Amino acid sequence: MYGTLEKATDHFDESRKLGQGGAGTVFKGILPDGKVVAVKRLFFNTRQWVDQFFNEVNLISGIQHKNLVSLLGCSIEGPESLLVYEYVPNRRLDQILFVKNTINILSWSHRFNIICGTAEGLAYLHGGSGVKIIHRDIKSSNILLDENLNPKIADFGLACCVASDKSHVSTAIAGTLGYMAPEYLVRGQLTEKADVYAFGVLMLEIATGRKNNVFSERSSSTLYLVWKQYKAESITQAIDSTLKGRFDEREASIVLRVGLLCTQSSVALRPTMSEVAQTLTDRRCVIPSPKQPPFLNASVLSPEDAMTSSFMGSSALNDPRTQKPGT
C-alpha cells in the first residue's frame, strides 16, 4: 500500500504538493486505476503525531456528508503513515477569497452557498452522525472547494469526540489565532461552541473578503469592522467592495448578524450550528440582537508565536493582555 501511494504521488514530488496542515503535507496522487486522490503524509517524531493520526482515522472513517472530505483509506506500513482522502479539484477557500483579482472574485451566490454548506457540515459533525465531534480548527484554509465551488471541511487532525453526558472538556489549546473562542483561548475549556465561534469569524471573512487580522491594531479586526457598521445601522456596508454592490441585501444582513451572534463572548449567547444552518435557509427565523464581540489583539505575543498561525499549547494564550476589550 505504501509503495503504491508513493508512486501515485511521484515519490511525494514537490510539484504534487497541495498544501500543508497541522499534522502533515498533502499531495495529489494518481492511483494505478486512474483515480485521483489526496494523500496526507505524516511524520511521527513524537507521540503527539501518532495520536493525531489514529485520532483522525477513528473519528472520520465512519462519517459521510457532502460537506466533509471523505477518508478513503490509510497506510501504516512505510517509514511514515499516510491518509488517503477524496481529491477535491478546486483550491482552498483562502486561496480564492483573499487573492484580489478579477478572475478570483467569488460572487455573492457562491459565498452564500459556501457559508450554508459549511454550516451544514459542521452541524452534522456536532451530532448529525450520532456522535459529537468538535473540529477545533475551522478556518478558510481548511475549507476545500470542488469544481462547482461547493465547500468541504478538511483536516481533522485536531478534532476530538465529546461524550454526550459531558458539557465540555478541558484540553491543551490547539488551533489558529483569530478563530479561537475566548473561553478556549484563555481557559482551555472546549465545547462545540468553540467551532461556532470559529465559523462566525469565517462567515464574516467570506462576506467582507477580509482576513481577520489579530496581529495588529484592533481596527484590522474583521469582527470590529462589522460591529462598527452594525452599530451605525449600515451593516451591509461591510460587504466586500469588490462585489460592487452585486449581492442580496437581505441575505448579506442575515450572514453578518449571524456571524456576530456566533462570535459572542458568552458561550450561552452563541447559537448551535443546527440553529445557524436553519437561520441561513429559513427567512422566517428571528435573529436576536448581538452584543459586542471580543476583539483579540495578539500583537503582544512573542515574535515566535506571531510567526506561527497554527500551533499547540502556547503559554502566551493565557496572557490576559491578548484580550483587548472594545470601546
Q: Burial of 245 by CB count in 10 Å (0-12 exposed, 13-18 middle, 19+ buried)?
A: exposed
Cβ atoms < 10 Å from Cβ of 128: 18
CA separation for the pair 35, 84 (Å, rounded): 12
Find out whether 174 and 194 touch, Cβ atoms under 8 Å.
no
Known active-site residue 137: yes
Find out whether 260 and 200 touch, Cβ atoms under 8 Å.
yes
Q: Which three cell numbers stand for residue 24?
A: 502533515
Query: Residues near 27 by Cβ (< 8 Å), separated by ≥ 6?
Result: 9, 12, 13, 16, 17, 18, 38, 39, 40, 41
C-alpha count within 13 angstroms, C-beta hemisphere, residue 3:
0
Q: What share of the chain is helix, strand, coil (3-state, %, to 5)?
A: 40, 15, 40
Looking at 10, 13, 33, 137, which residue is catalytic?
137
Nearest of 55, 321, 309, 93 to residue 203 by alpha carbon: 93
Q: Which three cell numbers stand for residue 174?
A: 490547539
**Catalytic residue ranges:** 137
